[in-house]
Amino acid sequence: MPVTTATTPRRATARGSGQGWLALLWLLALLLSACSDEADTGRAIDLVPGGDLAAILKRGELRVLLPRHYLDQVLPADTPRPGQSFITEFAIGLGVDIRWVYTETRDDLIPQLLAGAGDLIGTSLIITPERKRKVAFTVPLGVVREQVVVRGADRADIAGTPDLHNRTVALHPGTAAWQRLELLQEEIPGLTLAALPESQTLVKTLDQVADGFYDATVIPARLGREVLPTRPQLAAAFFLGDERPTAWAVRPDAPALREALDQFIYANRLAEQPETYTEDLDGLKKRGVLRVLTRNNPATYFILRGERLGFEYELVSAFAKSRGLRVEMVIPPSREDLIPWLQQGRGDLIAASLTITDERRNIPDIAFSRPYNEVSETLVSRAAELPLRSVDDLAGRDVVVRPSSSYWETIKRIQEQGVPVRLRPAPEEQETEWIIGQVAETVYDLTVADSDILDIELTWRDDVKADLVLGEPVPHGWVVHRQAPKLLAAVNDFIARTYRGRDYNILYRKYFRDPHKVRRHVEFRTARSGVLSPWDDVIRQHAEDYGFDWRLIVAQMYQESRFDPEAESWMGAQGLMQLMPRTATELGHDEPTDPASSIRAGVRYLALLRQRFDPGIPLAERTWLALAAYNAGYGHVADARRLARKLDLDPDRWSGNVEKAMGLLTLDRYAREAEHGYCRCNQTVHYVREIRNRYDAYVEATRNLAAIRESNDARANGNGNGNEDDGQDRRMLRSAAAAEDGAKESAAGP
């Protein structure tokens, strides 16, 4: 039977001032409750075989299942465990208490859910076909890719699953990796799966592999990239399959609860799996878009009062324009993901101030362009300290850099020269500018930065200084897939014509040499401040009231009015949200230039449009359709959906489907048959596309800032949090490696 531990009480109010994302679901729940014969089971009964959102609201309690090993952490009994804060926020929005229900093993999670011991599995599970047959998953929370870890001495002998014959792999039973390897046992003679105790930590498991007690184990790939550099006796052997999505799970007979969870996840991020492909220049021209992988920092790409800016962004936009392509910026979670995402087809080109190194040139499937910039790798120290005279002065000092950076190899070469400098890994999600700030605040001892990044920082801060230049200047290059030789040739031609020419020099001075402009960029850019518009607080309130991600509304508002409350279009639309006078009057909006009134009316109007679409359409798709209707009118979108059906396209999906049909309504042969006639719908396609691109940029900018702050808070408090087979262990091991105190750690995630 499950073990019930502490209850987290509901709070008086949810985050912000509104709970609009649950308004319709509350109404549904009350109706269901009124029509239900289900008895009030009360908290004393563990098993409640049925019951959807209505039953949860009636009980006033959400029961969340977690594996028992969550209790092993050194935390007070009434403290929410890692991975629970997000669920706690969801429960606060519902206005119910949480009861944390612990199962003896991971294998018990799904059976206990189906038996009615809980309402929700609160540690994110990898979505597998076997699990989908038993439970209903929410929209994905993320993705995970697993890799097999072995002793370094065995790496050459273990390059794929067939090499696991006569080997023992240590795993927790019930995990997705266990299930996958279990299916392979018939094909791989002598493959033995060693079942680890539920309470065993990943730290101990890795130690046992290193000591030869087991031959291998399986960990999330991102965790491996952070942990393995600190454990030279271990090595990543190969990936165990492709990336797979992770999600929470509920019973199949709880559709209202799943919808409420989807709404909640959606309110934090529109969940959508991007299309993956690898195309050369000809294919990209047919698609009309160049997907650029980059990172948010002052030298590459950032948001300033709604505008997308940055040296890399403007330079790559000029290249794309010269080839008739529009730019779509793609921001991976961390720098270490840039090259893997290119290899996987999630982007077409990396423009992120990557240093060209011999190690990177040897990475499979990628090709560097000719250099477009040169920088010096410079040691950064606190301004008040005595300057370092040579690398010998690094003896006994800690240098903190990302393992995926070229700086890591630079410091390793200094170590190989006999200098006893300690090399410490920084979290991959931390950009160099943030690490410099950690040096200034004495969290880190020393770091290394490219000279142009450091130049930007030194225009506005005086608490750090450039100390030693480490070697000769190094080149930066863009990166493309090896299967795109025409794209590479076009990039090289562009750089040859542009590098250090008039336009290039103007752009370079704008971002690296003009102190006034640099200081302004640093001060206001979203990635540092988290501020998207002058009306963020008002937007948050009304977006939450109607179940929208506030950053989406900011993106739409910028597209409508460029944040100008006095804006008026040639058609008479007025204010920040550009409502027509008649529509504004119907919505009770009688002050067109008042920002709060315009925002409230615009969000309400968008919500009403979204409600007009079939509720069976996924929430994200209804949102894109509603945005199109906001621009072109509901009737034209309805025409486009009907046309999509005739063309064998999906009328319930915007991208590449209704979007394509909508563009055709500008043509006379299609417009004649449309109920609402001709439409300047290419403008609408552009409208939705620009909002989506800007929304993605806003999400990444604000999420990166939050992730870095969370990482710093976790480190300062000696604690961390995360979900799935990934986050908690990653933070745990990083803390363990840094502290080296042997403190008891706990591995989480089935």
CA distance 217 to 200: 13
Give the other-Cβ count within 10 Å of 493's Cβ: 13
Binned at pLDDT 50, 70 and 90, residue 429 comes out as confident
CA distance 350 to 294: 6
The pLDDT of residue 747: 28
Handedness of CA 505, 506, 510, 515 (dihedral sign): positive
* Residue 228 DSSP one-character state: G
Nearest C-alpha neighbor of 200 from the set 750, 747, 749: 747
The pLDDT of residue 62: 93
Average pLDDT rounded to a whole number, residues 460-467: 88
Nearest C-alpha neighbor of 295 from the set 329, 271, 321: 329
| CA contacts within 13 A on the Cβ side of 731 | 23
Checking if the pLDDT of 741 tops 70, the result is no
- Joined tokens for residue 383: 């301004």
CATH no. for 3-137+248-268: 3.40.190.10
Mean of pLDDT over the chain = 81
Per DSSP bridges, beta strands 366-368 and 192-195 are unpaired
CA distance 530 to 536: 10
Where would I find the beta strands (DSSP E) of 342-435? 349-355, 366-368, 373-375, 377-382, 398-401, 422-425
Three-state SS sequence of 661-726:
HHHHCCCHHHHCCCCCCCCCHHHHHHHHHHHHHHHHHHHHHHHHHHHHHHHHHHHHHCCCCCCCCC
* Residue 98 DSSP one-character state: E
Q: Largest Cα–Cα distance of the chain, in whole Å?
A: 81
The residue among 120 and 663 whose pLDDT is bigger is 120
Average pLDDT rounded to a whole number, residues 550-556: 93
The residue among 303 and 340 whose pLDDT is bigger is 340
Give the other-Cβ count within 10 Å of 237's Cβ: 25
CA distance 253 to 24: 19
Q: What is the DSSP string of 463-477?
A: SEEEEEE-SS-EEEE
Q: What does the pLDDT look like over 308-364, one tens digit per residue?
A: 788 999 999 999 999 999 998 888 877 888 999 999 999 999 999 999 999 999 999
Residues 439, 302, 277, CA angle at the centre, nearest 5°?
110
The pLDDT of residue 627: 96
CA distance 548 to 550: 6
| End-to-end CA gap in the chain | 19
What is the separation of C-alpha 426 from the centre of its chain, rounded to a whole number of angstroms? Answer: 19
Most confident of 8-22, 102-116, 398-412: 398-412
Any catalytic annotation for residue 560?
Answer: yes
Checking if the pLDDT of 733 tops 90, the result is no
SS3 7: strand
Q: What is the DSSP string of 614-658?
A: -TTS-HHHHHHHHHHHHHH-HHHHHHHHHHHHHTT--TT-IIIII
- With beta carbons less than 8 A apart as the criterion, state whether 249 and 167 touch: no
The residue among 412 and 437 whose pLDDT is bigger is 412
pTM of structure:
0.56
- With beta carbons less than 8 A apart as the criterion, state whether 637 and 625 touch: yes
Checking 535-538 for CB contacts under 8 A at 24+ apart, the result is 535/563, 535/576, 535/595, 535/596, 535/599, 538/595, 538/596, 538/599, 538/600
Kindly report, as residue ranges, where domains of CATH 3.40.190.10 are found in the chain: 3-137+248-268, 146-241+723-739, 281-371+477-528, 377-471
Binned at pLDDT 50, 70 and 90, residue 704 comes out as low
Q: What does the pLDDT look like over 470-514, one tens digit per residue?
A: 989 999 999 999 999 999 999 999 999 999 899 999 999 888 876
- Report the amino acid identity of residue 367: A
Domain 146-241+723-739 has CATH 3.40.190.10: yes
Kindly report, as residue ranges, where domains of CATH 1.10.530.10 are found in the chain: 536-692
Give the other-Cβ count within 10 Å of 421's Cβ: 21
CATH homologous superfamily for 281-371+477-528?
Periplasmic binding protein-like II (3.40.190.10)
Handedness of CA 541, 543, 549, 550 (dihedral sign): negative
CA distance 634 to 627: 10
The pLDDT of residue 143: 67
Handedness of CA 213, 216, 220, 222 (dihedral sign): positive
- With beta carbons less than 8 A apart as the criterion, state whether 423 and 411 touch: yes
The pLDDT of residue 254: 93
Checking if the pLDDT of 24 tops 60, the result is no
CATH architecture of residue range(s) 377-471: 3-Layer(aba) Sandwich (3.40)
* Residue 590 DSSP one-character state: -
Binned at pLDDT 50, 70 and 90, residue 85 comes out as low
CA distance 411 to 416: 9
Q: Which of 146, 560, 621, 724 is an active site residue?
A: 560
Checking if the pLDDT of 661 tops 90, the result is yes
* Residue 447 DSSP one-character state: E
CA distance 718 to 428: 18
- Joined tokens for residue 723: 């979900």
- Joined tokens for residue 466: 């450039």
Per DSSP bridges, beta strands 146-151 and 234-239 are antiparallel
Where would I find the beta strands (DSSP E) of 289-362? 289-293, 302-304, 307-309, 326-330, 349-355
Burial 609-641 (b: 16+ CB within 10 A, else e): bbeebeeebbbbbbbbbbbbbbbbebebbbbbb
Could you tell me which residues come within 8 angstroms of residue 684 by beta carbon, excluding any fewer than 6 positions away? 628, 631, 632, 636, 662
- Joined tokens for residue 481: 């897939």
Could you tell me which residues come within 8 angstroms of residue 129 by beta carbon, excluding any fewer than 6 positions away? none
Total residues belonging to the chain: 750
Q: What is the DSSP string of 517-575?
A: HHHHHHHH-HHHH---STTHHHHHHHHHHTT--HHHHHHHHHHHHTT-TT-B-TT--BT
Average pLDDT rounded to a whole number, residues 383-407: 93
CATH no. for 536-692: 1.10.530.10
